[in-house]
Amino acid sequence: MFLGWICIPKNIHQFFFIKSTIMDNSKTYWPLQNEYWMKYDEIIRGIPYNEEQMRLLEYIAMLSNHLIQKDALPAIKLKKQTKPELFMDRHVFFNVLMMMTFYRFTYENRRQIYQLFDKFLSSPNIFMIMDSNQCFSCDII
């Protein structure tokens, strides 16, 4: 039984590259990927974090890895019970949004992350809180 034809390009490597619009005819997997990562790193390093905030951000980053995410979620929920003020911090929330932009989280993990910050997101003055610091005015994307 014949099901159909499969079309494969002659040069398979060229199929997975995207032409960059800035660089002169160079090809990259994602145009300007390195510049975005450098801006992200620069912004994140410019925000002061204490040890508790860094540990929470590490746990949230662990949710992007399916092998270690089962260890991270209980630790995050424990932090939510013992230190709820961490989930109201604008710097932590900004970093979490940046992680969700650059890291790969499953739909379920994204939903859980948003639920962790539900009080922050439901605040009527969330935009004033986020705009109250100059480090958030960078144009990453």
- The predicted model scores a pTM of 0.63
Cα gap 102→99, rounded to integer Å: 5
Domain limits, the chain: 50-137
The two three-digit tokens of residue 1, written as one number? 């039984």
What residues does 19 pair with on adjacent strands?
A: 27
Which amino acid does the sequence have at 45?
R
**From first to last of its 141 residues, what are the pLDDT tens digits of the chain?**
667 777 777 776 666 665 555 555 554 555 566 777 787 778 778 778 889 999 999 999 999 988 888 889 889 989 999 998 888 888 888 888 888 888 889 999 999 999 988 887 777 776 666 666 544 444 443
Q: Tokens 């003020």 belong to which residue? A: 85
- List of residues 6+ apart from 40 with CB closer than 8 A: 98, 102, 140
